[in-house]
Amino acid sequence: MAKEAEEIVRRVNEILGPFGFEAHPFKVKWYNELVGPNYQLEYHDDTFALITISTPQMFEKAFKPFIYNIYKKGDLAPIDHCVKYYTEEIKTVQDYPDTDLIYDFDQKAPRLYSILVQTAAHVAGAAYYYQKKDVINNPWGDKTIFGISIHPQYGGWFAIRAAIIFKNLKFADLKKKDPVDAIPDQETRIKLLNMLNEDWEYWKARDIIKVSERYTEEAINYFKTLPKDRYKLIEDMQANRKNNA
């Protein structure tokens, strides 16, 4: 990787890391080669980009401080706004003002997302995106089977949040890093995809491999709660903080 690219990755992780985020580099070309026309990123092939993920620590290090200090009652998407709040810090760095930020929730049109973040994370080497095509002699036939990204350290206990596009930076010699294939055997891949597609609400797929860290019970409870009911949990978090102050 070019020294300039390495320095950017280091600096961005220095900014976002304390809040429970990681950034991984990729070239636009690598992503565009794997997606259909509707999901292409309209930049030069060699344009430098980063994909960010939130680790299990994000809930404590970023979300709860956001709830305490920034959140406004009635906000219907506090996690999205939290991620955006911290990611926007990149634009304040003088060396990287000319960037486009594309979030996992951004859409070009209804039900047409601006970026397929699991594909971006795969080409960046951040997390392996297991899909139906990764199973030899798949047992599902023509049935639609959704894929899932697995992080080598966190398993499924993470989320892919945003792409940072450095519009004016092009690195033709950027070296591609393959994602860690944490599930090489076919039987476990089938088990993983069945878990996701048949029992997704039970979160079993997140523990398909041994992980170093998981979400806290508080975070699990929050994410398992329907979005329309999360405001009560937020109120409880705020009240607990006041009581412990």
- Residue by residue, pLDDT tens for the chain (245 residues) are 578 899 999 999 999 999 999 999 999 999 999 999 999 999 999 999 999 999 999 999 999 999 999 999 888 899 999 999 999 988 877 677 689 999 999 999 998 999 999 999 999 999 999 999 999 999 999 999 999 999 999 999 999 999 999 999 999 999 999 999 999 999 999 999 999 999 877 788 999 999 999 999 999 999 999 988 999 999 999 988 877 76
Residue found by looking up tokens 């023509």 in the block: 142
Residue found by looking up tokens 């973040």 in the block: 117
Q: What is the mean pLDDT of the chain?
A: 94
- What pLDDT was estimated at residue 1? 57
Query: 148 with 130: CB under 8 angstroms?
Result: yes
- What pLDDT was estimated at residue 94? 60
What is the distance between the alpha carbons of residues 132 and 111, in angstroms, rounded to a whole number? 21
